[in-house]
A and B are shown apart, each in its own frame.
Chain A
Amino acid sequence: MGLMDSFDNFWSIYSNLVLSLGTASLLALSIYLTLSCGMLAMANAAFMGIGAYASALLTMNAGAPFPVAIAGGMAAPAVVALLIGLPTLRLSGVYLAMATLAFGEVVRIVILNTEDLTGGALGLNGIPQSTQWWHVLLALLVTLGVLARLRRSKIGRAFEAIKEDETAAGLMGIDVTAHKMLAFVLGGAIAGLAGTLNAHLTFFIGPNEYGFDRGVEILTMTILGGINSLFGPVVGAVIITLLPELLRGLKDYRAVFNGLILVVIVLFLPKGLWDPAAVRRRLGLGAKEAAR
């Protein structure tokens, strides 16, 4: 009984934090998809926002049941991704990063200026708290399952070929544009799912939650974890989400550490924290030594 009580106690304090580990992991996986296809697209925070607003408007204004809101929260950013993907995915490297960044700003400004619908700078208040812990867990498991399946499929191999060398992949007969579009749209839908779950968890959403800083945070999680496996982004998301709690004593200087950690990882851990090849190498080496 005592154990149950202390668990209840823990859960009442930390349930939001635990659940935000799940939504952060979804976000990290959403940008992992485009990165694994060799694209640095920085629109995921905007897709998250579009999903959050679309689903919150569905539940608040149309009284839609939660599954419908989730579907809407995933479909809206996917459709937007499809529309802006047509022109932007032709761009390469930094041009793509900058164009998607610009798109994110446009989304934020549009939300700010459509007060009748979105509440403008005041945001949307009083979103029903429909997100249960098992919704988040299920969403994460299904996403991991789909992505794991994708990785081992022909599509996953095509992503890898495009990442290594786009021109060569095209010459091998891979439809580069279609594969990039798939990664972009699917990434948008996953980010929208995270936005939907998050909006129905936190009661309130505002336009500035989905700006440049959030986009950078999502990227940081994935780069920190590493993109050579599906666990990398999840590991990164967990660390970046827990870090502010652990660094609480530093108060105003917390973000200094977030920034410096990003720099240190880029400098000293180019493959991220979770690099399956390195782990295997270490284990393999250990086995050989044991045999001797």
Chain B
Amino acid sequence: MNNPSTSSGHRTWIPRIVVFQCQYSLYCEADQRWMDIQLPQHIKLIKAPCTGRIGPLFVLNAVQGGADGILISGCLPEQCHFKEGNLGARRQLDEFRRFLTYLGMEEERVRFVWIDLSERGRIQQELADLEETIGAIGPARRLATRAIPAGENL
């Protein structure tokens, strides 16, 4: 299943995606339930109390552990549950992505989704969009240095 080659036109490789989510960013009940219960196998959800908790080390560990795509979802500036946790995170994570790009990672692999509290269904769209982008650029080769445990999806 991890074979990146495409055979006879249809894709056999499924990108591994890690989603870092602020637990307050999905206000919509249905969206959150979909994330918690119905998330496809190749997407791994990691919840944090706030985007401010999602540090560069989290992202780096995901990249090194073999994630092909990383989606970081947070609240819009004025809507942070902790007033300003997301503001610090935005500056740090934006710079961290630029830094990883400087070291040779494809920029598209890390994506930010700043979700308005009223946007229903946005997260599904963004995930599908990210999967398509990652599918086009192929599996992560650079910076993915840690051995992935055999038989595990992530």
**A, B from the same assembly:** no
Chain A residues near B (Cβ < 8 Å): none
